[in-house]
Chains A and B, each alone.
Chain A
Amino acid sequence: MRPGDALFRVIVTAFAALIPLILLALLAFLVHDSWPALRFNGIEFFTRNAWNLGNQYGNPVTVRGEQVMPGASFAILFLIVGTLASSLIALLLAVPLGVGAAVFLAEAVPPRIRTYASLLVELLASVPSVVFGLWGYVVLIPFLSRHVYPHMARWLGFIPFFGPPSGSGYGLLTAGIVLALMCVPLIAANLREAIENTPQELREAGLAVGATRFEVVRKIVLPRLRLPLIGVSTLALGRALGETMAVLMISGNALNILPQNIYSPISTMASFMVSQLDSALQDPTNMAIYGIAEIGLALLLLSLLVNALARLLVPRSLSA
């Protein structure tokens, strides 16, 4: 090998090696930063609702070998419930919409317009999350809390968790709706591509035996896409789990309470990390910062799990 080639190869290999190294460092730093919190909190971190910085004017006490302020405790069951509930609501809303849009775009729109029509749907994905949050905060929440939620609470109250009180508009369902808006383009774009990649012969065979267009989609195209659909939905779930700003601005930032119905305020792990940063930096023992690192670690592991699963299910060419 020529020296120039060898040098070039070493350089690009080093760059490529950075990818696994960054992931490793990410895990290592988060574990290191959250180590005191892991020791102090134990398993109760996930099973109780008690995020409490303790008496900030007291003298630090030593508990389980760690310095904390008196009365401090860190447990995030309410964040886990809020994160999972809002993401699942988002998926429940986004999957049917995304599938409908993908089928329509791929099957019913003439190819000439299709590129532009799907472009429009996908543009929704590039609106920054803080703009979603701003719109949700200023426009959507007043609208929902005045014109939608009270009626839902009255007429759908027989369904569990749908009854009154209909709340202020900041809460679980609002977060779910906005997260769904962020997931629909992702699902629609990936699924449309998969539908278009269905072999033309299969479609023609279906039409030749007299199936209608929709029957071809439902009985031939969609059954082949079951696995990609699950994969794309999982990918969307991963995205919803880690979404921060929009949720922070519209979820009501509940502290230490579980949602009573779908209108209740919640917090998610990602949004809580931002909303608590300021006060955590004031903790003289730093335990609150270690606690935030522990939330980050838990969120990272959750999203690694979900995304690894998604990538194994989606053929690589699809997951944009």
Chain B
Amino acid sequence: MSDNTWMYRRRRLGNALALVLGSLATLFGLSWLAWILWVTISKGMSALSPALFTQLTPPPPGDGGGLANAFFGSVMVSLIALLIGTPIGIGAGLWLAEYAQRRALGTVVRFLNDILLSAPSIVLGLFVYSLVVKPLGHFSALAGGLALALIVLPVVVRTTDEMLRLVPSTMREAALSLGVPQWKVIVQILLRSARAGVVTGILLALARITGETAPLLFTALNNQYWNHDLLKPIATVPVVIFQFAMSPYDGWHALAWAGALVVTAFVLVLSLLSRLLLARTKVTHD
């Protein structure tokens, strides 16, 4: 066998080997996902029942009951976060895309937004703890919502900014040349055509805060009872999962798995939805 053939075979082998290693790495990664999902589904399904959504979290030793108050709390806290974070985020994103496009100040704010985006959520919780919880003297749903709003904000800023910059500048110019005021151009034309992208950002932000636990332990804390007073501590699903998981009671464990199943399914659906939305419509021109 000549040197050349040998070399050729070796290179072919290297190619095949790399392919095998790459596919193994991918499969390995996916197998963990499959493991986690399988465990969550199999353990969560057995505790899934209508009572989960209609009954309160049970006192120890935790037989029966559900997570109704925790679901309600999660919805409330997330709503507060979205109500605060979304308008501010869209506004700041508008400023970045329309008024600070090629300015140094815009680059700085964009950079700071990225930094805020990756700040540890526990530190944001600690911040809201000393901003709201300490002055009020007690934990509250409002503080929890505020902490999550700090997570929503940079996500929405970023997607709004990026989506608006994808809108062709001819649309701005056409509208402005017709004598439309700039704010109307931005709100009624640019924001409208980037609608799908902005909604994607909000969905991504919601997906991110749905499973958030650490900042809530410093702000919303937990509550065994039904609570609709925003100035009182409130139960949320991730915090209850944590509390129940670390307890010695089988009933609580089952509820923790059921909660984990619902939260994971919700988050997976949200992120799937947002990605499909993003893939299909970069920017629409209607």
| Binary per-residue interface labels of chain B (1-45) against chain A in the complex, 1 for a CB within 8 Å, 0 otherwise | 000000000011011001101111110111011011101100100
Check B23–A104 contact: CB distance below 8 A.
Answer: yes
Report A-chain residues with C-beta under 8 Å of the C-beta of B92.
Answer: 12, 15-16, 18-19
How distant is the Cα of A308 from the Cα of B117 in the complex, in angstroms? 11
Q: Which of B21, B98, B112, B207 contacts A23 (CB 8 A)?
A: B112
| Closest-CB distance, A268 to chain B (whole angstroms) | 10
How distant is the Cα of A304 from the Cα of B123 in the complex, in angstroms? 11
Q: How many residues of A contact B (CB 8 A)?
A: 90
A103 contacts the other chain (CB 8 A):
yes
The answer to whether residues A123 and B114 also contact, given A26-B123, A33-B130, A134-B245 and a CB cut-off of 8 A, is no
Check B182–A5 contact: CB distance below 8 A.
Answer: yes
How distant is the Cα of A5 from the Cα of B175 in the complex, in angstroms? 14
How distant is the Cα of A299 from the Cα of B120 in the complex, in angstroms? 8
B126 contacts the other chain (CB 8 A):
yes
Report A-chain residues with C-beta under 8 Å of the C-beta of B267.
Answer: 126-128
Report A-chain residues with C-beta under 8 Å of the C-beta of B14.
Answer: 212, 214-215
How distant is the Cα of A300 from the Cα of B115 in the complex, in angstroms? 10
Identify the interface centre among B92, B122, B187: most chain A CB within 10 Å of its CB.
B122
- Per DSSP, chain A at the interface is helix
Check B26–A244 contact: CB distance below 8 A.
Answer: no
How distant is the Cα of A41 from the Cα of B109 in the complex, in angstroms? 35
A266 contacts the other chain (CB 8 A):
no
| Closest-CB distance, B211 to chain A (whole angstroms) | 2
B228 contacts the other chain (CB 8 A):
no
B218 contacts the other chain (CB 8 A):
yes
A77 contacts the other chain (CB 8 A):
no
Check A128–B218 contact: CB distance below 8 A.
Answer: no
Q: Which of A122, A128, A296 contacts B126 (CB 8 A)?
A: A296
Check B211–A135 contact: CB distance below 8 A.
Answer: no
Q: Which of B123, B183, B245 contacts A249 (CB 8 A)?
A: B245
Check B211–A131 contact: CB distance below 8 A.
Answer: yes
Check B272–A119 contact: CB distance below 8 A.
Answer: yes
Q: Which of A122, A127, A217, A270 contacts B18 (CB 8 A)?
A: A217
Check A127–B264 contact: CB distance below 8 A.
Answer: yes
B279 contacts the other chain (CB 8 A):
yes
A120 contacts the other chain (CB 8 A):
yes
Identify the interface centre among A13, A134, A273, A319: most chain B CB within 10 Å of its CB.
A134
Q: Which of A5, A16, A218 contacts B96 (CB 8 A)?
A: A16
Please list the residues of chain A having a beta carbon within 8 angstroms of any beta carbon in chain B: 2, 4-5, 7-9, 11-16, 18-20, 22-23, 25-26, 29-30, 32-33, 96-97, 99-101, 103-105, 107-108, 115, 117, 119-124, 126-135, 137-139, 181, 184-185, 188, 212-215, 217-218, 235, 238-239, 241-245, 249, 270, 273-274, 277, 292-293, 296, 299-300, 303-304, 307-308, 310-311, 316, 319
* Known contacts A138-B43, A139-B35, then 11 further A-B pairs from the complex at CB < 8 Å, ordered by chain A residue: A19-B112, A22-B150, A104-B26, A107-B22, A123-B271, A126-B271, A128-B267, A184-B29, A243-B120, A249-B245, A307-B119
